Amino acid sequence: QSVLTQPPSASGTPGQRVTISCSGSSSNIGSNYVYWYQQLPGTAPKLLIYRNNQRPSGVPDRFSGSKSGTSASLAISGLRSEDEADYYCAAWDDSLSAPWVFGGGTKLTVL
Amino acid sequence: QITLKESGPTLVKPTQTLTLTCTFSGFSLSTSGVGVGWIRQPPGKALEWLALIYWDDDKRYSPSLKSRLTITKDTSKNQVVLTMTNMDPVDTATYYCAHLHGSYHAFDIWGQGTMVTVSS
């Protein structure tokens, strides 16, 4: 059972906009930044979003992040087949659960 | 360019101790704010954060695994070592080490991962 809650799956068609949610608590998302990772099949995770809504260099602006209260979302616009991957949210946690926590991951399928 | 690479045994027996080494380049673990962490992923399952060591030798562990984990660094060799005692088949996973960005305060660059199987 992950500390951050994500839907197990999401899907969309090419060109569509999809969003993936991440729910936490006051000790993690509610009081710290949210981060998003993309994990393509058979590869290591890649940082997509840091500090709620910032993109590292090289990440397309099709990817955007937002946060409100104890929840966060990752939006992908102009969906492409190469976006099919697992997506994980993460945050620092101020409680004893763990300093750094991940969501359970969302598998995005491009139909 | 920052790179990290994990190394260690691919197969360990139950009750044995696992020792993994992360060898990195492109940054110094003596730079303020920087860290190296370990994260694992059982086959088909989610990521699980294990441990983190900062430039100043501050160490953090997953509370659920704290009694079994030890993380150390050798700044001169650009290496971070993770040991996990009393291995069990449920510890079978791909183990990743990752660079903690000093400003982002996130794991921004990851190693390729190393698969460890626990079986007799």
Is residue A82 a contact partner of residue A14, using CB atoms and an 8 Å limit? no
Closest by Cβ to B63, choosing from A45, A92, A97 = A97
Q: Does A53 touch chain B (CB under 8 A)?
A: no
Nearest 10 degrees: Cα torsion A39, A41, A44, A45: 0
**Which residue on chain B is closest to A47 by alpha carbon?**
B108
| pLDDT tens sequence across B77-88 | 999 999 999 999
Q: Which of B19, B32, B14 lies closest to B79, judged by CA?
A: B19
| pLDDT tens sequence across A36-68 | 999 999 999 999 999 999 999 999 999 999 999
**Which residue on chain A is closest to B115 by alpha carbon?**
A42
Structure tokens at B101: 């960005």
Q: What is the mean pLDDT of chain A?
A: 96
Q: Which chain A positions have a beta carbon within 8 Å of B104's beta carbon?
A: 35, 47, 50-51, 54, 56
CA distance B16 to chain A (A): 25
**What is the rounded CA–CA span in Å between residue B22 and residue B52?**
12
Per-residue pLDDT, A1? 80
**What is the rounded CA–CA span in Å between residue B62 and residue B82?**
13
Query: B77 or B104, which is more confident?
Result: B77
Per-residue pLDDT, A2? 87
pLDDT-derived band of residue A97, with 50, 70 and 90 as boundaries?
Answer: low
Closest by Cβ to B46, choosing from A2, A54, A100 = A2
